[in-house]
């Protein structure tokens, strides 16, 4: 909880401080490689992945049933009075703090790689603290920790995504082998996994400027189409009120929510609060941290030529607003259906992976529900492929010491197959529970590495500022020719 708050403070500080906010990630005259739309699309697609589709309905609905305000008795469960706290806590997990985890890693790597000329790999983010010490075993350990966290973070995302894709295919086809007692069958999940990873490996082999860029642009177009659909036929007024009021409540309560830690040693209420925080906030922060090595490196890879302030705005503020809008429009429609009695707990009682499709079936005619569900399935596939291909590319970049030459293409295929085997093995060993536990274990050591990267970045920026100030003073002295 504390370390994620530290990441956000560092990002906001370097963006708002004029000497660092205007610094360019690269040469002073360098300009961005990608257009603003493509840059944001790739960043959003890699950073969010399938979690947004899985939880856009599930999380607001879950917090509508239980959240810390309900546990403390400040709001009633499953009533109109708990909508505001439900969105306050939902926005915490998808807002500024979450994206700051990615942003601080990407900013550190981009600065040291493009301003200092170091390889684009995890160890480079610690250069100002440890210097040449990282050229040997210590540096290898840092990079390996990043690879492990990435593989396990992607495993959670692909695991959830494969389940929801199987639910979507069942919703479209009705094939009995795809579902068992309302949940995706094991065979359906594994078939979905193979499809996703084969497409992801192909996309990674095509490179950032081709397959990944094209898929990311398609992602963003489909995302806007999906949101426009909910603005048109969803509970628009309810959702917009939830968005703006929830945003106000979230920003007002952000400092306390960010650093509030509940322990289970103060009675039943304290135990319930600690359990809720462990299952939601701590799990989310571990998930975002596990994703941070590959998303951060990917953000650095596509952000060369941007200023620090532009990068922070594009990597934290805009994605946060986009995520929160999605949660309000999609989740708000689900909550409104439950409040009005139209759903009659059909959404609340549905499997996590099926809640979105269940909602579409309730609010639309069968024909229109089929078409929109098909759009969701396509969006699921593109988001999953975008996340997985970015992860494959970044893992290969880390393991090759920042080398992005064509000779690494065989390694991309190897890592695509390797990640598939890891995810399948974890799912066979214990389902999503095993994947989640492995991810939290993998994220723990990397949370400390990110904190050190933030300190290294601040130190480097301060030292550069002091050197430039000293140079200006020296140049201003009479008789000094610079």
User: Among the listed ranges 68-77, 80-89, 226-235, 437-446, which one has the minimum average pLDDT value?
Assistant: 437-446
pLDDT digits (tens, 9 = 90+) for 300-322: 888 888 888 989 998 899 889 98
Residue 477 has pLDDT above 90, yes or no: no
Q: What percent of the chain has pLDDT over 70?
A: 91
- Rounded to an integer, what distance in angstroms lies between the CA atom of residue 266 and that of residue 132? 48
pLDDT digits (tens, 9 = 90+) for 94-103: 999 999 999 9
Q: What is the pLDDT of residue 383?
A: 76
- Rounded to an integer, what distance in angstroms lies between the CA atom of residue 435 and that of residue 154? 10
pLDDT digits (tens, 9 = 90+) for 45-59: 666 756 677 788 889
pLDDT digits (tens, 9 = 90+) for 391-431: 777 777 777 766 655 456 777 778 778 878 887 887 777 67
Residue 480 has pLDDT above 70, yes or no: no
Token pair belonging to 106: 């990407």
Q: What percent of the chain has pLDDT over 90?
A: 24
Residue 84 has pLDDT above 80, yes or no: yes
Give Cα separations from 199 to 66, 119, 326, 382, 392 (angstroms). 38, 28, 26, 9, 12
- Domains assigned to the chain: 2-464 (1.20.1730)
Give Cα separations from 369 to 19, 280, 375, 384 (angstroms). 52, 30, 10, 22
Q: What is the pLDDT of residue 478?
A: 63
Q: What is the pLDDT of residue 213?
A: 67
pLDDT digits (tens, 9 = 90+) for 317-351: 988 998 899 899 999 999 999 999 888 889 988 88
Residue 158 has pLDDT above 70, yes or no: yes
Q: What is the pLDDT of residue 92?
A: 95
Contacts 24+ apart (CB under 8 A), 115-124: 115/23, 115/24, 115/25, 115/26, 116/460, 119/401, 119/402, 120/297, 120/300, 120/301, 120/397, 120/402, 120/404, 121/297, 121/397, 121/398, 121/401, 121/402, 122/146, 122/293, 122/297, 122/398, 122/449, 124/402
Residue 184 has pLDDT above 80, yes or no: no
Helix (H, G, I), strand (E, B) or coil at 475: helix
């Amino acid at each position: 909880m504390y370390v994620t708050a530290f990441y956000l403070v560092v990002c906001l500080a370097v963006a708002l401080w004029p000497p660092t906010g205007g610094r360019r990630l690269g040469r002073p005259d360098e300009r961005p490689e990608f257009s603003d739309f493509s840059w944001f699309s790739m960043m959003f697609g890699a950073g969010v992945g399938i979690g947004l589709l899985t939880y856009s309905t599930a999380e607001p609905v879950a917090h509508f049933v239980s959240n810390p305000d309900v546990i403390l008795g400040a709001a009633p469960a499953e009533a109109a009075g708990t909508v505001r706290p439900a969105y306050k806590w939902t926005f915490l997990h998808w807002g500024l703090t979450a994206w700051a985890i990615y942003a601080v890693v990407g900013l550190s790597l981009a600065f040291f790689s493009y301003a200092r000329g170091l390889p684009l790999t995890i160890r480079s983010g610690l250069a100002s603290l440890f210097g040449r010490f990282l050229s040997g075993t210590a540096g290898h350990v840092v990079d390996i920790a990043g690879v492990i966290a990435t593989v396990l973070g992607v495993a959670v995302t692909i695991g959830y995504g494969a389940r929801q894709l199987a639910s979507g295919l069942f919703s479209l086809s009705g094939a009995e082998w795809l579902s068992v007692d309302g949940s995706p069958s094991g065979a359906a999940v594994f078939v979905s996994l193979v499809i996703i990873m084969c497409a992801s490996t192909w996309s990674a082999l095509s490179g950032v400027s081709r397959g990944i860029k094209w898929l990311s642009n398609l992602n963003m177009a489909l995302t806007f189409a999906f949101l426009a659909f909910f603005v048109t036929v969803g509970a628009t007024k309810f959702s917009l009120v939830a968005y703006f009021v929830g945003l106000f409540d979230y920003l007002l309560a952000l400092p306390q929510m960010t650093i509030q830690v509940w322990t289970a040693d103060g009675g039943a209420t304290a135990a319930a609060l600690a359990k809720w925080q462990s299952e939601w906030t701590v799990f989310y922060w571990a998930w975002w941290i596990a994703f941070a090595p590959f998303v951060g490196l990917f953000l650095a890879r596509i952000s060369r030529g941007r200023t620090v302030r532009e990068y922070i705005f594009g990597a934290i503020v805009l994605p946060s607003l986009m995520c929160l809008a999605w949660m309000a429009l999609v989740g708000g429609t689900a909550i409104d259906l439950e409040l009005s009695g139209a759903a009659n707990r059909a959404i609340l009682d549905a499997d996590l992976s099926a809640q979105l499709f269940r909602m579409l079936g309730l609010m639309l005619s069968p024909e229109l529900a089929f078409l929109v569900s098909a759009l969701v399935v396509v969006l699921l596939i593109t988001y999953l492929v975008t996340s997985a291909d970015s992860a494959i590319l970044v893992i290969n970049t880390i393991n090759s010491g920042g080398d992005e030459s064509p000779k690494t293409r065989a390694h991309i295929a190897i890592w695509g197959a390797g990640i598939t085997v890891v995810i399948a093995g974890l799912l066979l060993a214990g389902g999503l529970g095993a994947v989640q536990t492995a991810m939290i274990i993998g994220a723990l050591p990397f949370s400390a590495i990110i904190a050190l990267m933030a300190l290294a970045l601040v130190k480097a920026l301060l030292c550069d500022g002091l050197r430039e100030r000293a140079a200006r003073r020296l140049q201003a002295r009479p008789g000094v020719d610079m």
